[in-house]
Amino acid sequence: MLDRTYTDKVTSSDSGDEVAVAGWAHEIRDLGGITFVILRDRKGQIQVIFKEDEDEELFNKAQEISKEDLVHVKGIVEENDQAPGDREIQPTSLEIIGEAETPLPMDVSKNIDSDLSTRLDNRFMDLRKPEIHAIFSLKTKAMEAMQNWFDEDDYIEIDTPLISKGGAEGGAELFPVIYYEEEAFLSQSPQLYKQMLMAAGFDKVYETGTAFRAEEFATSRHVSEINMFDVELAFIEDHHDVMDVQEESFRHTLKKVKEEAAEELDTLDVNLTVPEEEFPRIQFDRALEILEEEFDHVPDDEGDLDTKGEKLLGEYFEEKGHPAFFVVGYPGEKFYYMQQVEDDEVASRKFDLIYKGQELSSGGQRQHDLEKLQKWMEKQDVDKSNFSFYLEAFKFGMPPH
């Protein structure tokens, strides 16, 4: 391996020590007999200062560096409260590992918004931006925190098939593939497999996986390929047990991210709020009333909240000191596997968790009674013959989940 230390591990307390770093030339400033190079790696940045009167040969070599060149530097750490991170490197050797062509397809060192097509055409360059790295780092730490919570609560991690005979939610939002000369589909959701595992005695499971939706979309919230964190638990009394798990795990995740990703949050200028009080739980009908009474807003789809509605509800509850809340009791006609509310032909035990005006997750209590499940499938024109593998699991003792 190349001798190198991540820049975030080099601190002012290392003054006088020799280190080796490797990364891309983020910024270059030439002040005559002095050249400053800001070197960037995955963990951060560090300043390297080349002085002509101290090492002319090294200084001249530094003049060959162009922005985004990949370089390897060895040198002595010096404390400098004027430099990024209050330290810099006085170099003793320099190697240009890889040269970057000029002009660059886009500038990653400055806060310049390139148009989307330029960013996508040069995605590898776009991903070099510190704020993009921060997003990936945040995701990693959030996933670690979530998995840690469920591991500590004795959940089993599972992996369900990504190719299936049919979709969990039916409909036409499926990507067809040829599977050994037969038609199959990319997984729309692990929902059915998770429920089948409840019947197999795997009473608490989670999965981190990919799902595919062949749907038209106009926002970044609806894309064709998504990563999801899926959970299923059995022997519940009702959907409030599921919301309890969601609330506790989400609060734990936020706390961990705030503690362990302060630098990334600062890079993205995000002030992460960790809700300390219990999350309010309001009925879907009440959510519609709030939107109409407080904001004169009525969602186009009477059976769901739209993006604007979620944002307005977020503002409403944020003002009351609740950045996170649940909306419960959505109309059930879209979800044959969702348990319905007794004495209510419309409402289901489905909920959404909304945080700062955005839906973060959805869930609910599933129907574990085979007869009722089949009736709802018929009511929603779901072809039961396509789901015989799933329905079989309900014939031999399916626990409430």
Does residue 313 form part of some domain? no
Distance CA 164, CA 185 (A): 5
Q: How many CB atoms lie within 10 A of CB 32?
A: 6
H or E segment and range at residue 206? strand 204-212
Burial of 169 (0-12, 13-18, 19+ CB in 10 A): middle
- Kindly report, residue by residue over 197-235, the tens digit of the pLDDT: 999 999 999 999 999 988 877 666 678 899 999 999 999
What's residue 211's pLDDT?
A: 92
Answer yes or no: is pLDDT of 344 > 80. Answer: no
H or E segment and range at residue 96? strand 87-98
Does residue 191 form part of some domain? no
How far apart, in Å, are the Cα atoms of 11 and each of 25, 71, 80, 90, 164?
19, 20, 10, 14, 52
Burial of 351 (0-12, 13-18, 19+ CB in 10 A): buried
Does residue 153 form part of some domain? no
379 pLDDT tier (thresholds 50, 70, 90): confident
- Kindly report, residue by residue over 221-274, the tens digit of the pLDDT: 678 899 999 999 999 999 999 999 999 999 999 999 999 999 999 999 999 999
- Kindly report, residue by residue over 290-312, the tens digit of the pLDDT: 999 999 999 988 888 999 999 99
Strand partners, 90: 76
Domain with residue 76: its CATH number is 2.40.50.140
- Kindly report, residue by residue over 150-160, the tens digit of the pLDDT: 999 999 999 99
Pairwise pLDDT comparison (305 vs 172), residue with the higher score: 305
How many independent structural domains does the chain possess?
1
Does residue 54 form part of some domain? yes
Alpha carbon 76 to its chain's center: 39
Domain membership of residue 26 as a residue range: 7-98
Burial of 46 (0-12, 13-18, 19+ CB in 10 A): buried
Residues 6+ apart with CB under 8 A from 127: 133
Does residue 155 form part of some domain? no
Helices 307-319, 284-295: crossing angle, 10 deg rounding: 80
172 pLDDT tier (thresholds 50, 70, 90): low
Does residue 50 form part of some domain? yes
Does residue 305 form part of some domain? no
What's residue 348's pLDDT?
A: 84
What's residue 166's pLDDT?
A: 73
* Tokens read off for 31: 């002040």
What is the C-alpha end-to-end distance of the chain, expressed in Å?
50
Does residue 400 form part of some domain? no
Average pLDDT, the chain: 93
What's residue 341's pLDDT?
A: 76
